[in-house]
Structure 1
Amino acid sequence: MSTPAAPISLVRALEERAFNAWPARQNVFHRGWLLRMSGGYTKRANSVNALVPGAPFDGVREAAAALYARHGLPTVFRLSPLAPPEADEELAGAGYRHFDPSLVLHRPLALAQLGRPDDSVVVTTTPPDAWLNGFAAANGVAPHHRALHRSMLDAIAHPTAFALLHAQGLAVGFGLAVLERGAVGLYDLAVAPEHRGCGRGQALVQALLHWAAQAGATSAYLQVRTQNAPALRLYEGLGFKEAYGYHYRVPM
């Protein structure tokens, strides 16, 4: 899956939406960089990110290391196309390991092009207990992080939808959509391990896209690890194409 590089304006727009859709508990702004902290739950919410194209990197590594150490967290950088090349070079030279390359996928959205959502998926605008507990089990959320996960969901400022898929009377599939400025982001997509490979993920995505299109969304995006071949095949089959990539740098 590959496309020409996305315009930097699209990268910045999607990055901004993603920061809003998955809000960190604490944000620190530093010379065009955003330092996010959320008690260690998820790399995205506990990482350093460029906010503007080509933000200067001099002194950022040292400032970030001091701040994250103060809060008992590792210094994790998430490097999108907004980050200047020298950031990656300096971090590599300082012994930060390249980790978890990922893609942001994007597609246009129109209600007329979407099929009828599967009846097994229920979409609500707040997460029921079955969604919260089932997602935590399916995605391996540690017990000490579950309250933090809930608080981050509660902090999302924009319209949300929670998809819950049932099979054989059990909640087995979960997904979150966040709508902002005409684009819907898909997050927290998870299917219980014993129910994977049966089309459950496709049903979840289609239900969330249908909700978003009805609410006025004209495009959709999501983030996926490059090594997750089954997910990439699923999203490509649903019309998503690569917008841009990013990766993490973590201390050795």
Structure 2
Amino acid sequence: EAGLRLAASLGYAEDARVLRKVLRGSAPALPAGSVARRMTDTEFDAWREHERIAHAEVLREHLGLGEEQAAERSAHDLAAAFPEGPRGHGQRLWVLEHEGATVGTLWVTDRETDVYVMSVEVAEEHRGRGHGRSLLRWTEADGLAEGHRAAELNVHTRNTPALRLYASLGYRPFQHHFVKPLI
């Protein structure tokens, strides 16, 4: 707490947090009517393009990259993560279906002892119905199945709904990321 107050007193603003949850026991089951399955090759192509655009936007907004530079870096980052398509080593892509409808996607990657949530997204028309919670429960199940001891994710501090969801599931701050304009 003292370090957070010091950073604020020096004009730094918290921009993002890495949250962590220790995985113990067995993960809660998905709700009735929900199933997680591996992403297909066909779905991967559309997902990758959507993720490339979203990642480029984050790079523009948070790193100040120009549009062309952000687009190139985003494409490079995804190509590096998935050199063999959706079955890249240490990368897992999941699709959440509820009552037969595709409602969301999840990208997790293996770290040394943790599973790291790279991207979790619920389709806009399906938000507010607990599907984000289901995807995070699946993260825990996947992590436990792979032998991981914790799950981690990054969240921007202005994303209040996500912060509340993660806190309700037991994710706690592990790292704080601050920014300060130098102009």
TM-score (norm 1): 0.51
User: Is 1:228 the counterpart of 2:159 in the alignment?
Assistant: yes
CA distance in structure 2 between the partners assigned to 1:242 and 1:250 by the alignment: 24
Deviates more, 1:236-245 or 1:165-174: 165-174
Equivalent residues in 2 for 1:152-191 (5 A)? Answer: 152-154=80-82, 159-167=90-98, 169-191=100-122
User: Is 1:151 the counterpart of 2:63 in the alignment?
Assistant: no
User: Is 1:211 the counterpart of 2:125 in the alignment?
Assistant: no
In structure 2, the partner of 1:102 is 16
CA distance in structure 2 between the partners assigned to 1:224 and 1:199 by the alignment: 18
In structure 1, the partner of 2:27 is 114
1:225-249: CA deviations, max 9, x gaps?
1111110111111110111210345
In structure 1, the partner of 2:176 is 245
Q: Give the secondary-structure state (helix, strand or coil) at the position aligned to 2:158.
A: coil
User: Is 1:128 the counterpart of 2:59 in the alignment?
Assistant: no
Unpaired stretches in structure 2, ≥5 consecutive residues: 57-70
Q: Give the secondary-structure state (helix, strand or coil) at the position aligned to 1:213.
A: helix
CA gap of 1:224–1:100, structure 2 versus 1, over 3 A, is: same
Q: Give the secondary-structure state (helix, strand or coil) at the position aligned to 2:139.
A: helix
1:183-208: CA deviations, max 9, x gaps?
11111111111111111111111112
Identity of aligned residues (%): 23
Unpaired stretches in structure 1, ≥5 consecutive residues: 6-80, 93-97
CA distance in structure 1 between the partners assigned to 2:20 and 2:121 by the alignment: 19
| Amino acid paired to 1:115 | P
CA gap of 1:213–1:4, structure 2 versus 1, over 3 A, is: farther
| Amino acid paired to 2:129 | C
CA gap of 1:103–1:172, structure 2 versus 1, over 3 A, is: same
In structure 1, the partner of 2:64 is none
CA distance in structure 1 between the partners assigned to 2:47 and 2:78 by the alignment: 13
In the alignment, is the contact (CA less than 8 A) between 1:103 and 1:223 conserved in 2?
yes
Q: Whose relative contact order is higher, 1 or 2, with alpha carbons under 8 Å and at least 6 apart?
A: 2
Structure showing greater Rg: 1
CA distance in structure 1 between the partners assigned to 2:89 and 2:163 by the alignment: 27
Which 4+ runs in 1 deviate beyond 6 A? none
Q: Give the secondary-structure state (helix, strand or coil) at the position aligned to 2:177.
A: strand
CA gap of 1:195–1:222, structure 2 versus 1, over 3 A, is: same
CA distance in structure 1 between the partners assigned to 2:96 and 2:18 by the alignment: 24
Q: Give the secondary-structure state (helix, strand or coil) at the position aligned to 1:224.
A: strand
